[in-house]
Amino acid sequence: LFAGEADFIWAANSLKNLPPMSKVEIAFAGRSNVGKSSLVNALTGRNTLARTSHTPGRTQQLNFFNINDRFHLVDMPGYGFAAVEKQKVQAWTQLIHDYLRGRASLARVYVLIDARHGIKPVDEAVLETLGTAAVSYQVVLTKADELKPGELDKCMADTLSKIEKRAAAYPEILPTSSRTGFGIPDLRAGIAKLLSE
């Protein structure tokens, strides 16, 4: 599914300039710096497809990537904090919530959570939006390489206990590392399964 073409096709900074809904969309949401763009690169095996940075606030628009003409991946700006003006972050957060709530072609959202930090109130707000709009989503833990195995198990259990009551949440949490490739085949398999349904 991911072998072949992966091309940047569109950037949107408002709901008014989203691309036509020509393909199923799969979006990556999460706090600034959680590793969304790195995960898009790891999935596609293309290290420079999405721009990454160690300073939060790198991705500033909804970036759409065409994967083999089969579906679109959407790399979103981060919410929560960023090394840019507060107003910008507020505008992105509004755009993120509006897009997640109102996009008919959106098939699945992966909500990325930094395994070192766990679910924060700003994440809960996004889960709430997705739940209210009945958009299916799965929680993905990022940067698993930064944790010891015991710490990762604890984060998995803590995170699961926070999403168990949420009906729109896929009841399985996926630990990943874009750095080592851990969990990436599982994420690819999940997307393949979703597209075949």
- CA atoms of 141 and 151, how far apart (whole Å): 12
Please report whether residue 56 would count as binding ligand GTP according to CB under 6 A. Answer: yes
What x/- string results for residues 137 through 176 when contact with ligand GTP is judged by CB under 6 A? -----xx-xx------------------------------
CB of 136 closer than 8 Å to CB of 103: no
Question: Which residue, among 109, 107, 90, has the nearest Cα to 30 in the 3D structure?
Answer: 109
Member of 32, 44, 63, 129 binding ligand GTP (CB under 6 A):
32
Phi, psi of 57 (to 5 degrees): 110, 15
- Binder of residue 193, out of Mg ion, ligand GTP, none (CB less than 5 to 8 A by kind): none
Torsion angle (degrees, nearest 10) of CA 121, 38, 24, 7:
150
Member of 30, 35, 39, 58 binding Mg ion (CB under 5 A):
58
38's CB contacts (< 8 A; 6+ apart) are: 50, 52, 142, 178, 179
Written as one letter, the residue type at 103 is R
Q: Which of residues 81-110 bind ligand GTP (CB under 6 A)?
A: none
What x/- string results for residues 123 through 152 when contact with Mg ion is judged by CB under 5 A? ------------------------------
The single-letter DSSP state of residue 15 is G
SS3 80: coil
Query: Which of 40, 135 has the CB closer to ligand GTP?
Result: 40
Member of 13, 47, 53, 90 binding ligand GTP (CB under 6 A):
53
Q: Enumerate binding residues for ligand GTP (CB under 6 A).
A: 30, 32-38, 52-54, 56-59, 77-78, 142-143, 145-146, 177-179
Q: Enumerate binding residues for Mg ion (CB under 5 A).
A: 36-37, 58-59
